[in-house]
Structure 1
Amino acid sequence: MEQHANRARLLGPADVRRLAEELGIRPTKRLGQNFVHDPNTVRRIVGAAELTADDVVLEVGPGLGSLTLALLPAAAGVVAVEIDPVLAERLPRTAAEFAPDHQGELRVLEADALRVRGADFAERPPTALVANLPYNVAVPVVLHLLAELPSLRTGLVMVQSEVADRLAAKPGNRTYGVPSAKAAWFADVRRAGPVPRTVFWPVPNVDSGLVSFTRIDPPSAAPRAQVFAAIDAAFAQRRKTLRAALSGWAGSAARAEQVLRAAGVEPTTRGEQLSVADFARVADAAAQLVR
């Protein structure tokens, strides 16, 4: 990591407020903006991400650049996806000011993270996702990026604490649901610690947490779309048995029972008891019965 030995100067509370005032920015709830102003927190995040000098980091919602500046010396490059044109335009200048030795390793993509495609990163596919995600779109962003960018092997994201619980939950847990089941298709997902409210400006009215993931092979050769459709149906009415919850998806309750029994799943089971591999078996059984 010798080529990345020069550390960037990080943003403190005064820097964050100065930049925001310069740009005429007040963080908005609509975009889920809460800017991190504590250098120790961003150092902790980058350390926990366990990046190598060969990693290309994808950062979503870099905002004023607090995390970006800590990421630049730790990786081969950073691609920052920012939907706000004012913030996207300012970020390269912030990198030049605070991390002049690494400014050339930053690429800013002004875009909605939910609309980016693999082709947007064809020249340099990202290998790690590290981001303070806008809380209102955290789950769809993570699932979209994992689906669209198979080059992403690892990740560490900061999200609302409840969202972290839902993403990392295992079958049988009361918070297990659509986000956890779908995320498990792509990766081994785990909680990676809490983040105090006081490190943000403005201070949010929710707790935050870190979630880490490591890419794994899909648990089945079943088409992902079919498996995810079964997951959506199972949790749309999560208090119902799978026989009832999957009746619309399968065509009838009797058909759902037939599919479940073919998959080796008891029809009176509820969705929160099934792993993503179980859902894959259900989708496979449904496809087999159609043939």
Structure 2
Amino acid sequence: MNTLPADDGLLGPADVRALAGRLGVRPTKQLGQNFVHDAGTVRRIAAKAGVQPGDVVLEVGPGLGSLTLALLAAGARVVVVEIDERLAAELPATVAARRPDLAADPDGRLAAHLQVVRSDALDVHDLPALAGGAGAAAGAPTKLVANLPYNVAVPVILTLLARMPQLEQVLVMVQTEVAERLAAVPGSKVYGVPSVKAAWYAEASMAGAVGRQVFWPVPNVDSALVRLVRRDPPSTTASREDVFAVVDAAFGQRRKTLRAALAGWAGSPARAEEVLRAAGVDPTLRGERLDVTAFARIAEARAAGA
């Protein structure tokens, strides 16, 4: 009987380069591709995500499979979304070769453990239906664990939280600046639109730094882990879309007071002030001082005709 390799079958630097070379894959800045080649890092990510045997985990942008293998080693059933056709096609073969202990069906597939969805994550609407295999057999993913391309990290996180209410936890590796913005609190210098919109869905916190040398090629920016734990949105009669419209307007001119920044959204500076006062918000404040609940009150006040 096949047994699990002593190294969990994880990829090292030589493995990553060999795989990329065989596939003719050259990491591109356009796709934000920086492949992780350090086994310790992917083990750490799986551990910090609290992945347990039987968990169904969503991974976006698995690349050559470094993190995928770590999630499988932790006992997860993994549904991956990969936009690159070559990488999506190769991943099952990589997993089968590195993890011969995983039971395959008669056709050699690993559907009970791994399901690959060839798609842009921003285009995914019904993941369980697309996934089949691991996703359909075990239920929809409850955790998102990924090394996200820097240029699409925020849209991917917010889109998946919106479309997949069953996602309870997120742990992603992103550019440090992105992680700090997602986890920022009102009043901090980096607090902005991503901070507020993420707070609508979840409580975000920094979960550790990641060195540049664990990537190939080595990026020009620092990376970090950010954790988001699902919670209920603010109690409000306003829709998410209406609340986010206020947020966008407030930070569209973040140096201006809310009275001025929301003038276009409300119809005039005077009308903006009326709405703000009805919501219990000082019109002379800037958007960076408000939490998501305050933005919800503003949207609600306007909808109520204040």
Length-normalised TM-score, structure 2: 0.91
CA–CA separation in structure 1 for the residues paired with 2:36 and 2:266: 46
1:29 matched to which residue of 2? 29
Q: CA RMSD in A?
A: 1.5
Could you list the runs of 5+ residues in structure 2 that have no partner in the other structure?
Answer: 103-109, 130-135
2:192 matched to which residue of 1? 177
CA–CA separation in structure 2 for the residues paired with 1:155 and 1:245: 32
For 2:93, the aligned partner's letter is R
Identity across the alignment (%): 65
CA–CA separation in structure 1 for the residues paired with 2:160 and 2:214: 26
Cα displacement (A) at 1:73? 2.7
**1:54-99 CA distances to partner (integer Å, 9 max, x unpaired)?**
3210000000000000001324410010000000000000010112
1:208 matched to which residue of 2? 223
**Within 5 A, what are the aligned runs for 1:89-168?**
89-102=89-102, 103=110, 104-117=112-125, 119-122=126-129, 123=136, 124-168=139-183
For 1:106, the aligned partner's letter is L
Cα displacement (A) at 1:6? 9.1
1:257 matched to which residue of 2? 273
Corresponding residue SS for 1:18: helix
Higher mean displacement: 69-78 or 38-47: 69-78
Length-normalised TM-score, structure 1: 0.95
2:203 matched to which residue of 1? 188
Cα displacement (A) at 1:219? 1.1
CA–CA separation in structure 1 for the residues paired with 2:273 and 2:200: 24
1:56 matched to which residue of 2? 56
Is the CA contact (8 Å cut-off) linking 1:78 and 1:106 kept in structure 2? yes
CA–CA separation in structure 2 for the residues paired with 1:231 and 1:239: 14
For 1:162, the aligned partner's letter is E
CA–CA separation in structure 1 for the residues paired with 2:100 and 2:293: 47
CA–CA separation in structure 1 for the residues paired with 2:6 and 2:240: 43
Number of residue pairs matched? 286
CA–CA separation in structure 1 for the residues paired with 2:76 and 2:14: 29
Higher mean displacement: 92-101 or 180-189: 92-101
**1:174-218 CA distances to partner (integer Å, 9 max, x unpaired)?**
100000000000001000010000000000000000001110001
Could you list the runs of 5+ residues in structure 1 that have no partner in the other structure?
Answer: none
For 1:97, the aligned partner's letter is A
Is the CA contact (8 Å cut-off) linking 1:6 and 1:73 kept in structure 2? no
Cα displacement (A) at 1:8? 3.1
